[in-house]
Structure 1
Amino acid sequence: MASVSVDEAMRRAIELAARGLGTTSPNPVVGCVLLDSDGEVVGEGFHAYAGGPHAEIVALAQAGRRAKGGTAVVTLEPCDHTGRTGPCSSALVQAGVGRVVIAVPDPNPVASGGAATLRAAGVRVDLGVRGEEAEAGNVAWLTSMRRGWPYVIWKYAATLDGRSAAADGTSMWITSEAARIDVHALRGTVDAVIAGVGTVLADDPRLTARNLRDGSLAIRQPLRVVVDSSGRTPADARVRDGAARTWIATADEVGADPDGRVDLSALLAALHQRGIRAVLLEGGPRLAGAFLEAGLVDKIVGYVAPRLLGAGPTALVDAGVTTIAEAIDLEFVDVTQIGPDLRITALPRKREG
């Protein structure tokens, strides 16, 4: 087998890490490629699920004795603590690895320190190879760990003129089946789905991740969170059907803002304490506006249908904007056609001051 460069190995490690999206939380996604002393790939691994072996351990097991004197290329700094598994830093030292190349340092104070442990054992450590790319692949976990509340994705569906329903309230369906299948795949990558009680009362959604073709539930279900300030969620609402865990988040339990509604910052902090690292905000338009006004949205995924309604509810209400100078500016990062619809991904630009 031909030798590969460290850069090529890191690109492969990032691809491997992505296989764990949606199944590793509250742990990060991590990929690892082991090269022997001649630069040949002798082991690969990724972290598949929380509590399971870490990427480095999987790669070391494949490499066996060929790891000695070799190079471990890993997307995140090897952990340095004993949790449900042992420290990867010690495993790399014991295997006789001579060099470890790391894309991103670990921001978790409980697990960080692996680079220092490796250096103290005489292992060469290099940081930053394809760091920006590795950050992007692990953005939700890294963001959550650095600031103490989950990464928030606002998802909405609308017509080309921005309507989320017709004048009579009908909305099934604004977008195509292909777009709805894509939404369920997106749900499968997050730890929680958030909706307001208004959406629950109006649409009675399940908020589960499903195969739309046969109706079967995904093996792993995100926590369903209903933002319900005064506890109005009906006892027979479908979000209470037992298909997934559900939290009815009331102002009494979470804390109230000055208007008596659920304090959204406190809600996100509580979710982080529950091990939630990424959430999908799905409705409704007023709750989305409150999140945006508070600066709590990290990414927007909009499904735009090639249809016009001319009247009816809009996808967004009351985002704290009263004049054009206050508009929430976005950066488009991806536009992809999904069936007849467009999926537009954008990042809110940080406001100065």
Structure 2
Amino acid sequence: MGATTAERAAMRRALELAAQVPARGPNPRVGCVLLDADDSTISEGFHRGAGTPHAEVEALRRASESRGPGAARGATAVVTLEPCNHHGRTGPCVDALLGAGVARVVHAQQDPNPAASGGAARLRAAGVDVLGSVLADEARALNATWSRALELGRPVVTWKVASTLDGRAAAADGTSRWITGRAARHGVHRLRAGVDAVVVGTGTVLADDPDLTVRHAPLTGQQPERVVVGLRDLPASSRLARAAAAGEAVMQLRTHDPHEVLDLLWYREHRHVLLEGGPALAAAFWRAGLVDDVVAYVAPVLLGNGASAVADLGIGTIADAARLDLLDVAVLPRDPEDPTDTPTVRLTLRPRKER
């Protein structure tokens, strides 16, 4: 039997519930709606992040609170993700659903996590009626970055680059504040607010002394972890060294290997990282095939000399040029109250992987 009209409506509601949580951290956003035999809603639940009850468990708890023990017996659970089948910080949702006597499970996206998948098969084996792939595209879009990370087996890497029209990231004397406009800089803070970690090289720390925190955008939860890659020591007077000394989430990885960086960040349960540079580190990630998305801020400014936005990519001929697909273009206007501000063009791109 396919999904009923009530079940599809409940799935849309479950997607709305899941979307209340920021798309950060190691766990997906998941919503659940329990329906009784008359297609009326018994209860709802959504997952609030790692270590908290999963959506199904939360919905079952609320059902018991509102209608008493056994409230979910014979019910239909409508869930945006295939119920998990493993022990992590919490127990398997499959166990909770079976224990509650749920008769039917309708889920959207199949779980791409090999450690957690198999829930649908186990439910079927226990006699539960299971229907999958209901509004699956919408569910995947809700957890697009998380899903990509699970499929890649590493964090998704978004490279943020800011440059002049002639591809410079700094002037000949090393100055770079500010090439792009205020709206672009605030946009970078919104990018930071949506990732688990912000990554720069030691050269950027020495040249720019960045803070790398979210300050000009709303932030839910903790600041993203600040990560410095490279062998050189951080100056004790630098903002990041002072932040680390104060116990803030700053980490230095003494390596030049991008794969090693992502392996460690994956181990620390980071699923999305923002690569902010500089040119050498960006080139290292690119040459390793580890750049998944690019957000480029290009200002109508010419320098003619100075540091390039990216270092040598090992490309010697136009036939080997790196090509990217253009996903979005936006013009960020200058502040009319500030004559020193500049408009900036934001390009959102995705590298063309070899087919």
**2:323 — aligned with what?**
329
**2:34 — aligned with what?**
34
SS in structure 2 at match of 1:21: coil
**1:75 — aligned with what?**
80
> Structure 2 residue aligned with 1:115, among 120, 131, 139?
120
Cα deviation for residue 195 of structure 1 reads 0.4
Change (3 A) 1:176 1:38: farther
Q: How many residues align?
A: 335
Cα deviation for residue 337 of structure 1 reads 4.3
- TM-score norm. by structure 2 comes to 0.83
**Bigger Rg over Cα:** 2
Contact 1:157 1:175 (C-alpha < 8 Å) held by counterparts: yes
Distance 1:306 1:100 in 2: 54
Alignment of 1:238-317 (within 5 A): 238-240=239-241, 241-242=243-244, 244-251=248-255, 262-317=256-311
Distance 1:75 1:212 in 2: 29
SS in structure 2 at match of 1:89: helix
Distance 1:342 1:61 in 2: 49
**2:337 — aligned with what?**
none
**1:259 — aligned with what?**
none
> Structure 2 residue aligned with 1:129, among 125, 131, 134?
134
Cα deviation for residue 119 of structure 1 reads 1.1
Change (3 A) 1:219 1:311: same
Cα deviation for residue 34 of structure 1 reads 3.3
Contact 2:72 2:101 (C-alpha < 8 Å) held by counterparts: yes
**1:20 — aligned with what?**
21
Residue 346 (structure 2) pairs with residue 343 (structure 1): yes
Following TM superposition, the consecutive aligned residue runs of length 4 or more in structure 1 with deviations greater than 6 angstroms are none
Distance 1:287 1:43 in 2: 49
Residue 200 (structure 2) pairs with residue 199 (structure 1): no
What is the identity, as a one-letter code, of the residue corresponding to 2:27?
Answer: N
Distance 1:136 1:315 in 2: 31
Cα deviation for residue 131 of structure 1 reads 2.5
**1:225 — aligned with what?**
227
**1:157 — aligned with what?**
162
Residue 45 (structure 2) pairs with residue 53 (structure 1): no
Contact 1:56 1:88 (C-alpha < 8 Å) held by counterparts: yes
SS in structure 2 at match of 1:179: helix
Distance 1:41 1:100 in 2: 14
**1:176 — aligned with what?**
181
SS in structure 1 at match of 2:285: helix
Which stretch of the first structure deviates more once superposed, 166-175 or 296-305? 166-175
SS in structure 1 at match of 2:312: coil
Identity of aligned residues (%): 55
SS in structure 2 at match of 1:72: strand
Distance 1:177 1:97 in 2: 53
Distance 1:176 1:62 in 2: 49
What is the identity, as a one-letter code, of the residue corresponding to 1:245?
Answer: A
Which stretch of the first structure deviates more once superposed, 169-178 or 334-343? 334-343
Cα deviation for residue 338 of structure 1 reads 4.3
Cα deviation for residue 290 of structure 1 reads 1.5
Cα deviation for residue 26 of structure 1 reads 2.1
Deviations 1:51-101 (CA, angstroms, capped at 9, x unpaired): 111122233344455644443232221112333322211222333333222
SS in structure 2 at match of 1:239: helix
Cα deviation for residue 42 of structure 1 reads 4.2
Change (3 A) 1:175 1:85: same
SS in structure 2 at match of 1:209: coil
**1:91 — aligned with what?**
96
What is the identity, as a one-letter code, of the residue corresponding to 1:18?
Answer: A
Cα deviation for residue 32 of structure 1 reads 2.5
Deviations 1:149-179 (CA, angstroms, capped at 9, x unpaired): 2111111222344332334432222233333
Cα deviation for residue 117 of structure 1 reads 2.3
Distance 1:43 1:319 in 2: 54
Contact 1:165 1:171 (C-alpha < 8 Å) held by counterparts: yes
